[in-house]
């Protein structure tokens, strides 16, 4: 007869990035072909996906603001695109550079994130 052991709950570590440190795999700079420039900050950004122009859009971030105890807290997650692709801020996908919005225009296409949560319109209509 087996006795049930009490389950031990360990707090799950947060894997958020920060403007000074991106939580990327250790080999990310090898895959991306050079140093990764930190500095992207989710502060004051609404929920969404954001191309990182300082890294030629090979890195992108997900900003997730939420309210806890009447305070706005923003989680920041960083990702990188596959080799030879960049993040297309207009379509929110990694794509070949010739098929993507030019990285230099990423900031003007951030409004694409305004589609999240909307039920009255389809994406990119």
Q: Please tell me the predicted confidence (pLDDT) of residue 12.
A: 56
Would 77 be classed as within a structural domain?
yes
Q: Tokens 């122009």 — which residue?
A: 53
Q: Helix or strand or coil: residue 8?
A: coil
Whether 59 maps to a domain, the answer reads: yes
In whole angstroms, give the CA distance from residue 29 to residue 13.
Answer: 24
Q: What total of structural domains would you count in the chain?
A: 1
Asked whether the beta carbons of 94 and 86 are under 8 A apart, the reply is: yes
Helices (H), 1-125: 28-32
Domain that holds residue 75: 29-115
pTM as predicted: 0.80
Residue 43 within a domain: yes
Q: pLDDT tens digit string along 23-65?
A: 887 788 877 878 888 899 999 999 999 999 999 999 999 999 9
């Amino acid at each position: 007869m087996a006795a049930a052991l009490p389950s031990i709950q360990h707090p799950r570590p947060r894997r958020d990035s920060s403007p000074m440190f991106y939580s990327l795999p250790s080999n990310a700079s090898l895959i991306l072909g050079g140093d990764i420039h930190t500095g992207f900050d989710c502060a004051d950004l609404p929920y969404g996906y954001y191309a990182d122009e300082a890294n030629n859009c090979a890195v992108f971030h997900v900003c997730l603001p939420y309210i806890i105890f009447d305070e706005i807290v923003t989680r920041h997650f960083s990702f990188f695109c596959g080799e030879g692709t960049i993040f297309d801020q207009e379509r929110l996908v990694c794509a070949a550079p010739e098929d993507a919005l030019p990285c230099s225009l990423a900031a003007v296409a951030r409004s694409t994130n305004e589609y999240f949560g909307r039920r009255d319109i389809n994406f990119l209509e």
